[in-house]
């Protein structure tokens, strides 16, 4: 077994318009990592930032040998930026975290302690923040409840993308090339020896959250449709129920017509048309979500492109670097 001094921890940090947070995060991370008996590196993945984020990271890299940057060719999204950093990382383990300091750097010591005990994945659960708006806390809780009921996964409420992954997990993770990534679900699905630790989130150091309502809904749909076909099964069950109901209503309508007891009712007719029409559109929409995922996956497009990097990794060669 390697001595601790010969092991390395990679810190992977997706960055999108976080210029005001990078320096503060770097200072805190350096303070924490320098107190651990391991070599370490910081991999900042710039996900098409439009501010000065990349130039600040490059300045840090010039002044500090522990800092590396990966510049993606455009904004691919948080999950893909995170995958790019994890794919390239050289460490014996990698810790992924956000750039806004809501993931407290001091928690890294607890992550590493569990890693030293032999766990392959040490993930975090965000404790409820009473300062968050009631609606945001409620929708977050609902997301995990719905996901767990509609899929075979069981994600704890508050599970975050703040986690440690051992090298064997990173190697397995690098082979996953799904068109729509939901990393916290994939890590749970992959298995290995996993353990959770709780943490209290900080206030965002600076700037605004990049997850608006639209992105949150899209993220939730991605998680549900990536790990469950139960919505399709529900559609089939509902269709069967409606078919059985029709077997009763159609003879009733025919008998009413034959004995001359047909009562015309515009209101009931319109309600029926609107209800069943809306139901059919909803069903078609759910089916369309799954079909669109199949179409995109069938194209086998690269998940990301790297425009520039100062990182040297045996996990990716020059041809892959251009292609991805």
Question: pLDDT, tens digit, for every residue of 185-229?
Answer: 788 777 888 888 888 887 765 656 555 556 566 666 665 666 665
| CA–CA gap between residue 241 and residue 233 (Å, rounded) | 12
pLDDT of 172 higher than 70: yes
Return the structure tokens found at 72. 């993606």
| CA–CA gap between residue 175 and residue 165 (Å, rounded) | 15
| Three-class DSSP category at 221 | helix
| CA–CA gap between residue 74 and residue 50 (Å, rounded) | 10
Instruction: Give the HSE-up count for residue 262: Cα atoms under 13 Å, Cβ half-sphere.
Output: 11
- Selection from 55, 68, 72 nearest residue 19 by Cα: 55
pLDDT of 4 higher than 50: yes
Question: Would the pTM count as exceeding 0.85?
Answer: no
pLDDT of 176 higher than 60: yes
45-64 pLDDT, tens digit per residue, is 998 888 888 889 998 988 88
Tell me the mean pLDDT in the region 255-266.
60
Q: What is the mean pLDDT of the chain?
A: 75
| CA–CA gap between residue 260 and residue 277 (Å, rounded) | 28
**Ranges of H-type helices in the chain:** 19-33, 53-63, 78-88, 108-116, 134-150, 167-173, 183-190, 213-227, 230-258, 266-299, 318-323
- Look at residue 14 in the predicted model and tell me its pLDDT: 92
pLDDT of 242 higher than 90: no
92-122 pLDDT, tens digit per residue, is 899 998 888 888 888 899 999 999 988 999 9
- Look at residue 1 in the predicted model and tell me its pLDDT: 41
pLDDT of 164 higher than 90: yes
Q: Is the dihedral of CA 234, 150, 138, 186 positive or negative?
A: negative
Q: Is 207 left (phi over 0), alpha (psi -120 to 50) or beta?
A: left
């Amino acid at each position: 077994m390697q001595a601790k001094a010969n092991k390395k921890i990679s810190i992977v940090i997706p960055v999108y318009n976080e210029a005001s947070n990078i320096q503060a995060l770097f200072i805190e991370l350096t303070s924490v990592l320098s107190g651990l008996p391991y070599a370490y590196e910081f991999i900042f993945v710039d996900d098409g930032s439009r501010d000065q984020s990349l130039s600040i990271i490059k300045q840090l890299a010039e002044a500090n040998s522990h800092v590396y940057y990966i510049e993606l060719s455009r904004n691919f999204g948080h999950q893909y930026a995170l995958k790019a950093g994890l794919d390239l990382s050289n460490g014996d383990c990698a810790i992924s975290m956000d750039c806004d300091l809501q993931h407290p750097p001091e928690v890294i010591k607890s992550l590493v302690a569990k890693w030293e005990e032999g766990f392959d994945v040490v993930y975090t659960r965000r404790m409820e923040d009473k300062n968050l708006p009631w609606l945001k806390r409620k929708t977050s809780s609902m997301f995990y409840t719905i996901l767990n009921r509609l899929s075979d996964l069981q994600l704890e409420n508050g599970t975050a993308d703040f986690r440690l992954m051992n090298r064997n997990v990173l190697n397995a993770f690098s082979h996953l090339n799904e068109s729509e990534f939901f990393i916290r679900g994939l890590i749970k699905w992959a298995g290995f020896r996993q353990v959770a630790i709780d943490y209290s989130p900080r206030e965002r150091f600076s700037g605004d959250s990049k997850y608006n309502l639209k992105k949150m809904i899209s993220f939730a749909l991605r998680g549900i449709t990536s790990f469950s076909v139960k919505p399709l099964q529900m559609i089939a069950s509902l269709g069967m129920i409606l078919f059985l109901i029709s077997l009763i209503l159609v003879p009733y309508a025919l008998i009413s017509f034959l004995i001359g007891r047909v009562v015309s009712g515009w209101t009931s007719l319109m309600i029926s048309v609107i209800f069943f029409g809306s139901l059919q559109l909803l069903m078609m929409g759910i089916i369309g979500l799954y079909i669109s995922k199949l179409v995109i996956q069938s194209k086998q497009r690269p998940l990301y492109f790297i425009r520039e990097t100062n990182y040297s990794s045996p996990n990716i060669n020059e041809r892959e670097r251009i292609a991805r």
